[in-house]
Amino acid sequence: MADALTVDIVGPDRVLWSGAAKSVSVPTVEGEIGLLAGHVPVLSVLRPGSVKVVASADGGHTLDITGGFVSFDHNVVTIVADVAEPAEK
């Protein structure tokens, strides 16, 4: 899929989620950022909030985080979270 993002969400001790996605939304200290394929490169500090992944294969995922950082370049999203837990539904 040409418009897919490669997403890796990691915590201090493990990979929390990894896979292909259509979009990712992250809470940065400068505001909410939505990432789609072809977005300009981003490196930003994350604030507490929810990371939302719209996955290509299995629907969506939401993780609550306490902070960390996000890196985006060449359709690859890497999120390093200080602490992350699946969001309550």
pLDDT at 2 over 60: no
Q: pLDDT band at residue 1, thresholds of 50, 70 and 90?
A: very low
pLDDT tens for each residue of 26-79: 999 999 999 999 999 999 999 999 999 998 667 788 999 999 999 999 999 999
Render the burial of 43-66: b for 16+ CB within 10 Å, e for the rest: ebebbebebbbebbeeeebebbbe
- Single pTM value for the model: 0.90
Distance of alpha carbon 29 from alpha carbon 24, whole angstroms: 16
Name residues whose C-beta falls within 8 Å of residue 12's C-beta, 6 or more positions apart in sequence.
Answer: 82
Please report the domains of the chain, with CATH numbers, ordered by start residue: 5-86 (2.60.15.10)
At residue 55, the pLDDT reads: 85
At residue 43, the pLDDT reads: 97
Farthest-apart Cα atoms in the chain, separation? 32
Residue 59 phi/psi, 5-degree rounding, is 85, -130
